[in-house]
Structure 1
Amino acid sequence: MNCEVCQLKELEVEHFEIREVLRCILHTILFHRALGLVRPKDVDLQLFEITYVQCGDIGLEKKVDEKIDQFIERVEKHPNKKNQICLSFYEMKKTQATWFSNKVERLYWEQWYINLNVVQQPKSQSGKSHHSNVMIDSGETAVEERSVRQAALEASLCEVLFQIIKFSNEKREHVPPIPNLDGVCFPYEITISSSSDSAFGMDMLKRMLQTGHPTMLS
């Protein structure tokens, strides 16, 4: 089965920006793969001048937040590493395992890789200096640098959102027929890895070959 893969532009974020950035990206992808009638909900980011759309489903929002919590826990345990979230859409197919039984196979048809480089916040200038004007100047410089960095991240996040929209609109032939399942979007799973996980690629390959019962999140 044809599985389309989209590698989203890497974003450099600080710890306090992770939750908003991931919510924005994940919900934007899920909204563009929504099924049937949804109740779109506009969400304004607090850290950036960006508005995105959610499907308006409480259950979906809860599951996304649970995965973001796991991602943040991983970042705290493994700082200074690039981290990645993979949002995969799949469909379930019954295949004949033996003469007497069938198995349900999970076939992935689309995968989105969200790449975050979580950087540590620069430490403040040491207070040992006796020259207050030097401390003031360094403080102003730090504020300016943070402002420039935040503006750059906002621009990059907008690029990612446009990348999602472009991919969703152009890549449609591989999208399977709408399944007879409950839920606001196609069955999906969210997996987390970091740059240190050398076996991540093999793990994903194994997951594509594994069988199991359908679940909304793994």
Structure 2
Amino acid sequence: MNNPSHTTITIDLVLDRHTTKEVLQAVLHAILFHRLFGLVKPQTFDILDVTMPGVSDPEMEQLVNEKVDAFWRAVEGGISKRGQITVTFLEKRPKKSWFQVYMGEEEVPWEQWVINAELRQPKSDRDRQQFLTTLAATLTKAVQTMLVHTSSEKGRTAVPLITNATGISPFPIRIAVSVGGVEVAY
């Protein structure tokens, strides 16, 4: 399962209670928008005057909402106010034994997006205003990172050959949530 050759892109976010769910949903949708290769119906998310692309697909929306809710519950109910949401794109490859005998398929990651999120509460209205300005700049930078990576030579060559064109994604997607270093089930 571990493939050291896959690319990892990290996005660091500092959030408050009022913006956490909305921002995480938008960031996850933006990643999926840039990495789904099927017929994608677009939508947009406007957060703090930053417009982020998204995917209008019931299955993807449910997956994103479940993962964001799991993150929120773990952060709200636990001691740690830091966590990660990891989006891993995988390809299915034939698995062979030592004697080149076909042993089924294995899922091998070709790209991973790590969203590090930390919850903080601004102390005053002035702090809150500065916090929101910084968060808007961080979201703008995150979208730029997505655009630059997915349109770069490295980002394009990371995508494996598409052999199955059915559905919204020809590749398996795994989204994992961990808070305080512990994986959270939804």
TM-score normalised to structure 1 length: 0.73
User: What aligned pairs does 1:129-208 form with structure 2 within 5 A after superposition?
Assistant: 142-170=124-152, 171-180=155-164, 182-185=166-169, 186-197=171-182
* 1:31-66 superposed Cα distances (whole Å, 9 cap, x missing partner): 111213322122323xx1121222221111111101
Q: Deviations over 1:91-120 (max 9, x none)?
A: 111223488862221100000000111124
Number of the residue aligned with 1:15: 17
2:14 and 2:44 map into 1 onto residues whose CA distance is 25
* Aligned counterpart for 1:34 among listed residues 36, 52, 55: 36
Contact 1:42 1:53 in 2 (8 A): yes
Query: What is the CA–CA distance in structure 2 between the aligned matches of 1:103 and 1:96, rounded to whole Å?
Result: 7
Moved more, 106-115 or 78-87: 78-87
1:16 is paired with a residue whose SS is coil
SS at match of 1:15: coil
2-structure distance, mates of 1:152, 1:101: 52
Give me the whole-angstrom Cα distance separating, in 2, the residues matched to 1:36 and 1:192: 25
Gaps of 5+ in 1: 123-141, 201-217
| Structure 1 residues 79 and 50: CA distance shift in structure 2, 3 A | farther
Contact 1:80 1:119 in 2 (8 A): no
Aligned CA-pair RMSD: 2.3
- Which amino acid letter does the alignment assign opposite residue 65 of structure 1? N
The aligned runs of 1:30-69 (5 Å cut-off) are 30-45=32-47, 48-69=48-69
> What's the TM-score once normalised by structure 2's chain length?
0.84
Structure 1 residue 5 corresponds to structure 2 residue 8: yes
Offset at residue 178 of structure 1 (A) = 1.7
Q: In 1, distance between residues paired with 2:69 and 2:166?
A: 25
Letter in 1 for 2:9: C
1:84-103 alignment runs, 5 A limit? 84-97=84-97, 102-103=103-104
- Letter of the 1:64 counterpart: V
CA apart distance, 1:195: 4.2
Point out the more displaced range, 89-98 or 21-30: 89-98
Structure 2 counterparts to residues 76-91 of structure 1, below 5 A: 76-91=76-91
Structure 2 distance, partners of 1:168, 1:79, is 36
Maintained 8 Å contact 2:81/2:180: yes
Aligned-pair CA distance for 1:181:
5.3
Paired residues in the alignment total 177
Identical amino acids, percent of aligned pairs? 30
SS of alignment partner, residue 106 of structure 1: strand
Kindly indicate whether the alpha-carbon contact (under 8 Å) linking 2:25 and 2:64 is maintained by their aligned counterparts in 1: yes
Residue 72 of structure 2 is aligned to residue 72 of structure 1: yes
For 2:63 and 2:165, locate their aligned partners in 1 and report how far apart those are by CA, in whole Å: 17
Give the superposition deviation at 1:86. Answer: 0.6
Gaps of 5+ in 2: none
